[in-house]
């Protein structure tokens, strides 16, 4: 999905394209996945969360500096352009995009994203474990049950700039079949 489509302002359109770039997306996805295991959904927020949040902000600021260099803008010029756009309401799509980016920079949004990424990282770890289990079941009569589990489109994790849709392996009927097959295999040992 091209979030820059419909944005009239060339600077904000370039900013949206910069953020949508696969290099940018991969860098932050790796950061989120690599740090998400520290986050839990309890009421207490650990000091470590704020440390990781500050690290995220520093990485984002580095990327912003790169974007500003590419565009030949100073930070003040970019802020001034964005503030004028927001105040004038002349470019609704640009305003909407800037609102999304600004909202995503808050600690609360970051914390919620990290919880989502933790579920995603946990799902990936479970998929990797299923693959490992499937390899260990090769040549046994339970191989068919294990292979059925792996045909679940790798647990269908989808992320887009605007929303995340995560289906964890434990939600899968095939995973239950795999667990049953694995339990049968373990009993035969």
State how far the Cα of 145 lies from the Cα of 111, in Å rounded to an integer. Answer: 38
pLDDT band at 154 (very low <50, low <70, confident <90, very high): very low
Domain locations along the chain: 10-105, 117-188
Among residues 144, 23, 9, 2, the alpha carbon closest in space to that of 89 is found at 9
pLDDT band at 137 (very low <50, low <70, confident <90, very high): confident
Among residues 60, 59, 37, the alpha carbon closest in space to that of 49 is found at 37
Q: What does the pLDDT read at residue 38?
A: 94
Q: Tens digits of per-residue pLDDT, 66-80?
A: 999 999 999 999 999
Q: Tens digits of per-residue pLDDT, 160-189?
A: 333 333 334 444 444 444 444 445 444 444
Count of C-beta atoms within a 10 Å radius of residue 107: 14
CB burial of residue 169 (10 Å; 0-12, 13-18, 19+): buried
């Amino acid at each position: 999905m091209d979030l820059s489509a419909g944005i009239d302002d060339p600077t904000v359109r370039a900013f949206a394209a910069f953020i949508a770039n696969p290099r940018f997306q991969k860098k932050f996805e790796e950061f989120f996945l690599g740090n998400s295991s520290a986050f839990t959904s309890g009421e207490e927020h650990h000091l470590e969360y704020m440390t990781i949040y500050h690290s995220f902000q520093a990485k984002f600021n580095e990327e912003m500096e790169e974007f500003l260099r590419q565009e030949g803008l100073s930070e003040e010029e970019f802020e001034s352009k964005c503030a004028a756009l927001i105040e004038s309401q002349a470019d609704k799509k640009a305003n909407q995009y800037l609102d999304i980016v600004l909202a995503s920079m808050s600690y609360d949004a970051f914390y919620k994203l990290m919880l989502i990424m933790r579920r995603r990282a946990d799902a990936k770890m479970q998929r990797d474990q299923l693959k490992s289990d499937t390899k260990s079941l090769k040549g046994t009569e339970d191989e068919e049950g294990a292979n059925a589990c792996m045909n679940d489109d790798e647990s269908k994790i989808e992320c887009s700039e605007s929303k995340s849709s995560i289906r964890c392996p434990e939600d899968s009927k095939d995973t239950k079949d795999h667990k049953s097959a694995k339990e049968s295999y373990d009993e035969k040992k």
